[in-house]
Structures are given as structure tokens and as C-alpha cells.
Amino acid sequence: MTDLVKLTVDGGIGTIRLERPPMNALNIEIQEGLRAAAAEICADDSVRAVVVFGGEKVFAAGADIKEMAGMSYVDMARRAGALSSAFDAIARIPKPVVAAITGYALGGGCELALACDWRVVADDAKLGQPEIKLGVIPGAGGTQRLARLVGPARAKDIILTGRMVDAAEALRIGLADRVVPAADVYATAVELVAGFVDGPAHAIALAKQAIDGGLDRDLAGGLAWESQLFAALFATDDRAEGMAAFVEKRPAKFTGR
């Protein structure tokens, strides 16, 4: 891990906290810290849900431009894949993941939020992909995840103009899932995922996998993918417990096995 990315676990919920004030600029050390945190979460069965949080003042205002400014094409050609895959490591966590956004989620910060399953946004927060104003494009998933989330026309508007999106618009277009006062962002994010802590971990993981993996398939391929994952869950203890509890008219007690 790194001092710039901290992972804590409380009650089955892991919090990935960015610690690079004042703006949590996402330099290479943070990128690799995110990758390491994702790997640790994936290996720890006691973590059942995740909150990504930048702190009370700012989520992440973008990449470390000073670090990038001196890079050549060759330098970035070597680094771009690692940059994208660090954020993709968050997206591939097989557990519910929510971004708790205060202040700004811009550029790489917005891309990190897009890698999460949901976004809880402060009512005074600003989101956006301003890379076009630097003469580049989003390079860590922004052009792909944003278009899938809000549609290609809205994504082009946000990316080509580089404008900021306020919380109200983010909620309206589906970029935000909940908007709350800034002081309530982290608690609301925890509340959003708390219900998954005692849930059927394998079913939750495969539901995420079915949805995310089906987006690039045609309907027939997606249905076949879903069928494979559905059948796989019949090898789990939680499936047996869930169905037994239903028949016996009692609450299920899932173990994550």
C-alpha cells in the first residue's frame, strides 16, 4: 500500500481513503495504491462492501498534471495501460463499491468515481472531465464508462466541452445516484452498502459480473453468460440456505460460502 491510499475495515465495510491534500491529485503512487487496495479487498473475505472516499473537502480533482507534463509520447505509451488498469482494478472488485464524493471529482477523480457501482454526491460537488482543456482526452476510462452510464450524446457534451456538472444535473442524468449535504456523504455511502454485508457474497459478485460482462455482448450472448453464472451459484452453500429459508418461511442466514 502507500501512505497516500489507506484501507480500513469496519463492520464488513472497507473504506479506501485518498490522503493527498489539498486536492488528492492522482499521481502514480495513488494509482498503484488503488490497485493494491483493490487486491487486498478481493483477497479478504471479511470485506463485503467498499466505500471510496477522498475526505470531507474533496474527492479528487484530477490527475497530477505536473507529473504528466514532462512525459513524452513514449513515456505515456508505457504508462497509459497501467493508469487505466489501476482504475479498472476498482471496477473489478467483486463486491458492491460506492464513491462518496465531496468537493470535486474531476478528470481522473471522475473516472475513479465512474469505476464504482454507485456515486453518492454532495449537493455542492462538481463533477466533470476537463481533459480537453489540456489538449488530451480522458485516459482512465472516462470516454467509455461515462458514455455507458449517461449515453453517448451527454458524454460527448461533458467531455468535448470540459465543463463541470453540478450535483443536480449529475442526479438528473444518472451520473449521481444520491445527492445529500456534504456532511452526510460518507455516512450515506456506508448506509447504501451496509445491507450487503450479510448478503450472499457469491450471488452479489456474480450479479455484478453478469451485468458488467454483459454490456459488451449482444442479447443472446448476454443471456448465455447469465445462464452460466446462474447455474454456478447452485454450487454454493448460500444458494442452498436461501432456498431452504424461503421454503421454511424464515430469514436466511448467509455465510458467504
How confident is the model over 21-69, as pLDDT tens digits? 999 999 999 999 999 999 999 999 999 999 999 999 999 998 899 999 9
In the beta sheet, which residues pair with residue 184? none
**Catalytic: 111?**
yes
Could you give the 3-state DSSP secondary structure of residue 169? Answer: helix
Average of per-residue pLDDT values in the chain? 96
Say whether both 84 and 156 belong to one domain.
yes
Q: What is the CATH number of the domain that holds 214?
A: 1.10.12
Give catalytic status of residue 191 as yes or no. no
**Residue 253 forms part of a structural domain:** no
**The C-alpha cell of 213 is what?**
460482462
Characterize 49-60 residue by residue with b for buried, 16 or more Cβ atoms within 10 angstroms of its Cβ, and e for exposed: bbbbbbbeebbb
User: Cell 460506492, residue?
Assistant: 98
Claim to verify: residue 100 and residue 209 sit in the same structural domain: no
Q: What angle (nearest 5°) sits at the alpha carbon of residue 112, between those of residues 108 and 115?
A: 135
Is 32 part of the annotated catalytic residue set? no
Catalytic one among 55, 107, 108, 242? 108
Query: Are 218 and 156 in the same domain?
Result: no
Catalytically annotated residue among 37, 60, 63, 140? 63
2 pLDDT more than 90: no
Cα 107 to Cα 143: distance, rounded to the nearest angstrom: 11
User: Do the domain assignments include residue 255?
Assistant: no
63 is catalytic: yes
Predicted confidence (pLDDT) per residue in 168-211, tens digit? 999 999 999 999 999 999 999 999 999 999 999 999 999 999 99
Q: Provide the number of structural domains found in the chain.
A: 2
**Does 119 share its domain with 228?**
no
CA distances in angstroms from 256 to 79, 198, 204, listed in the order given: 37, 8, 10
Enter the C-alpha cell of residue 25. 491529485
- The position carrying cell 512525459 is 71
Query: Which position among 91, 111, 203, 256 bears the catalytic label?
Result: 111
Beta strands in the chain (DSSP E): 5-10, 13-18, 49-53, 97-101, 104-106, 118-122, 126-128, 164-166, 178-180
Domain's final residue, options 153, 176, 194: 194
* Other CB atoms within 10 Å distance of the CB of residue 116: 25
Distance CA 239, CA 180 (A): 36
Q: What is the CATH number of the domain that holds 73?
A: 3.90.226.10
Range of the domain at 206: 201-247
Given 131, 199, 203, 242, the catalytic residue = 131
Summarised one tens digit per residue, pLDDT across range 100-135 is: 999 999 999 999 999 999 999 999 999 999 999 999
The answer as to whether 99 is a domain residue is yes
pTM, entire model: 0.95
Whether 252 maps to a domain, the answer reads: no
